[in-house]
Amino acid sequence: MTVQSNIYPTKALQEMDAAHHLHPFSDMKALNQEGSRIITSATGVWLTDSDGNRIMDGMAGLWCVQVGHGRTEIADAVHKQMVELSYYNTFFKTTHPPAIELSRKLAELAPPHINRVFYCSSGSEANDTVFRMVRYYWDQMGKPDKKVIISRWNGYHGSTLAGTSLGGMKAMHAQGDLPVPGVHHINQPYWFGEGGDMSPDEFGLHAARELEKAIDEIGENKVAAFIAEPIQGAGGVIIPPDTYWPEVQRILKERDILFVADEVICGFGRLGRWFGSDYYGIEPDLMPIAKGLTSGYLPMGGVLVSDRVAEGVVGKGGDFNHGYTYSGHPACAAAALANLAIIEREGLVERVANDIGPYLKERWLKLADHPLVGEARMTGLVGALELVPDKADRHKRFKDVGVPGLLCRDISFENGLVMRAVRDSMIISPPLVLSHEEADFLVATAEKTLNDTYRILKRDGWM
Ligand code: PMP
């Protein structure tokens, strides 16, 4: 049976969904009572739902649809590849042209010291690969005691066992007794939330030096790696102060520890450079990637591997006993190649740096004048608005953290714009093809949403 939205009315689809479909990160009891919104088609930055509403996709799906929806060029490349070779593995001394071509392309786009890639199907699998690869590397280098991976509270690295453990989401840790042993969390460089009375620059140094302290306490001889997102996405678009990354890089350069930059969100143009690491001038040893690699047209992830790590996992010989049935899947690789070709041909990375990025940022930052907004921030095409009960007091938060954010998110959807709520921050990460007119719509709708939310919060005594 084919479930077609033009045959079934919305209500019938919602009932089928409620009866049979468990959604990720959802309270299914509450959602089933309310009914899911059903997205039926999309073009460019616009979604259409089963009631015919048109909604701007201000999140590029889940931070992934760099080139916009409905690119037939990618669909055609996948179709061609599926007809030619729909699947073959890369385990037993075999490979295929799409995996080879994509690997060469990624080596060309990555920083010069990174020339290899290990494939998987998602960002979570990429970080599971990281977890195993850094330990394998140190074994290969004759330092098997180097096992601990340092990461950050409120970081996000996926929802598998390793991804959840590396991430610093306490609500995720609480389900299933995580993290697994061998992961140590330090505080995040979140000035607006945790900077106290320090200036952003002072706080950036302070947060970076937590890493130094942690390494020195655990012992450099026991620490394998430090993992972090250049900008924390799912944690609430935490843009670190300017002093943070140079200090982290100094600390890691002085110590024999691998640096893993999780590029799952920041990669492929989001910050106006190919990778977030390029934007911040940092030099990671490993870069997990996913999302923008295929613009979400097919699931694919990977770990970009530096020459230094390759010396251990390639140069020393021996099997790395790790891999997935779909590592380097030919159709996914074809989707990635077609997607990267569009990003290059249309100059989307440069567009974020020099055109739509600054255009949107200028207008987005003006929303900081709104009485509900404590801070507006944006880098490249990723931004946040911090909703606060008292604009004059940066340290004050709503009494039930998260409730105003969810209210604002629902109002935004009704107004025709997808924004995501993280605690009481409103997040955007639109496709890189966003036009100036669409950016104007985005900001005008965000402003209307703030006004609508403010009115309800005032009426109900939240502020
Ligand atoms: N790392 C980061 C930085 C992410 O933002 C995400 C997903 N939001 C992941 C890893 C996990 O990716 P996936 O959902 O594809 O497993």
Map tokens 């004059």 to a residue: 392
Tell me the pLDDT of the chain averaged across its residues: 97
Q: What is the pLDDT of residues 342-388, one digit of tens each?
A: 999 999 999 999 999 999 999 999 999 999 999 999 999 999 999 99
Residue 360 sits at the vertex; the CA angle it makes with 363 and 284, to the nearest 5 degrees, is 130
Q: How far apart are CA 194 and CA 186, in angstroms?
A: 13
- Cα–ligand 1 centroid distance for 102 (angstroms): 21
Instruction: Classify burial at 197, counting beta carbons within 10 Å of its beta carbon; exposed 0-12, middle 13-18, buried 19 or more.
Output: exposed
pLDDT digits 0-9 by tens, 119-140: 999 999 999 999 999 999 999 9
393, 401 Cβ separation under 8 angstroms: no
58 within ligand 1 shell (Cβ under 6 A): no
Task: State residue 236 phi and psi, 5-degree precision.
Answer: 120, 30
Shortest-distance atom of ligand 1 to CA 263: 3
CA 404 centroid distance within chain? 23
pLDDT in tens, 82-111: 999 999 999 999 999 999 999 999 999 999
pLDDT at 4 over 90: no
Residue pair 427/364 in contact by the 8 Å Cβ criterion = no
Q: What is the pLDDT of residue 53?
A: 97
Q: Is 124 in the pocket of ligand 1 (CB under 6 A)?
A: yes
Q: Tell me the best of 121, 264, 275, 289 to mutate to test the pocket of ligand 1, counting ligand atoms within 8 Å of each CB and taking the most.
A: 264
pLDDT tens for 185-234 read 999 999 999 999 999 999 999 999 999 999 999 999 999 999 999 999 99
State the pLDDT confidence band at 6, using cuts at 50, 70 and 90: low
What is the interface pTM, i.e. ipTM, of the complex? 0.99
pLDDT value of residue 432: 98
Indicate which atom in ligand 1 lies nearest the CA of residue 299.
15
Encode pLDDT of 145-178 as tens digits.
999 999 999 999 999 999 999 999 999 999 999 9
Q: Which of 247, 245, 251 is nearest to 223 (CA)?
A: 251
Q: Give the rounded percent of residues in the chain with a pLDDT score beyond 90.
A: 98
For 323-355, the pLDDT digits (tens) are 999 999 999 999 999 999 999 999 999 999 999
Q: Is the CB of 120 under 6 A from ligand 1?
A: no
User: Does position 1 have pLDDT exceeding 50, yes or no?
Assistant: no
Q: Which residues are CB-neighbours of 109 under 8 A, at least 6 positions away?
A: 274, 275, 340
Nearest to 425 by CA among 227, 234, 141, 182: 234
Task: Label residue 3 by pLDDT band (50, 70, 90).
Answer: low
Encoded tokens for 376: 């507006």
Q: Which residue among 25, 119, 124, 169 is best mutated to probe the pocket of ligand 1, counting the most ligand atoms within 8 A of its Cβ? A: 124
pTM given for the model: 0.97
Which residues are CB-neighbours of 48 under 8 A, at least 6 positions away? Answer: 39, 40, 41, 42, 54, 55
